[in-house]
Amino acid sequence: MMVIPCENPLLFSLVTALVMSSTQSLADKIVIAHRGASGYFPEHTLEAKAMAYGMGAHYIEQDVVMTKDDHLIVLHDITLDRTTDVDEQYPNRARNDGRFYAIDFTLEEIRGLKASEGFRIENGEKVQGYSNRFPMGSSFFRVPTLEEEIQLIQGMNKSTGKDIGIYPEIKKTRVSS
């Protein structure tokens, strides 16, 4: 063991206390699964939330957005066009800025959308953030409701005896066109 001489015992005590408290805080970290396990499944899908649960998250985060008919859905953006096929199913419903806002669609309309990996538009083409995982337009992912996510997490808590929490974030809906 190497001993470092310290002429100021107060400074030594302070540094020692700081090191010990930061070591303790590392052991007390809380894991919040932002958008679920979005490194493994498309963000905010029930599959991503189940994976985050299985990976040991303490809390699972939900970004909450309202629909036109006052239902709460779980979607990171207030728009649908970065993670769904809304532009293909409702091409004439974009606002003047070219975006498709969740508040302009009913829950039934949103339920008919295919959710996918997040993507961006380059040269008029959709380019997925994770191009090697799930093909664009896979029909098995969808936008969940907040109620569905709560039921999923509560059901897994009952099945496992754990007490994993939810961590909702309410998104401000852009109302003006």
What is the model's pLDDT at position 1?
46
Distance between CA 164 and CA 156 in Å, rounded? 9
What is the model's pLDDT at position 16?
58
Phi-psi region of 65 (alpha: psi -120 to 50; beta: other; left: phi over 0): beta
Ordered DSSP codes for 125-158: EEEESSTTSS-TT-TT--PPBHHHHHHHHHHHHH
Residue segments in the chain with a per-residue pLDDT below the cut of 50: 1-2, 22-24
First to last CA, the chain: 67
What is the model's pLDDT at position 9?
57
What is the model's pLDDT at position 127?
74
76 is catalytic: yes
Domain 32-170 in CATH 3.30.1640.10: no
71 is catalytic: no
pLDDT digits (tens, 9 = 90+) for 52-97: 999 999 999 999 999 999 999 999 999 999 889 999 999 999 999 9
Distance between CA 10 and CA 69 in Å, rounded? 63
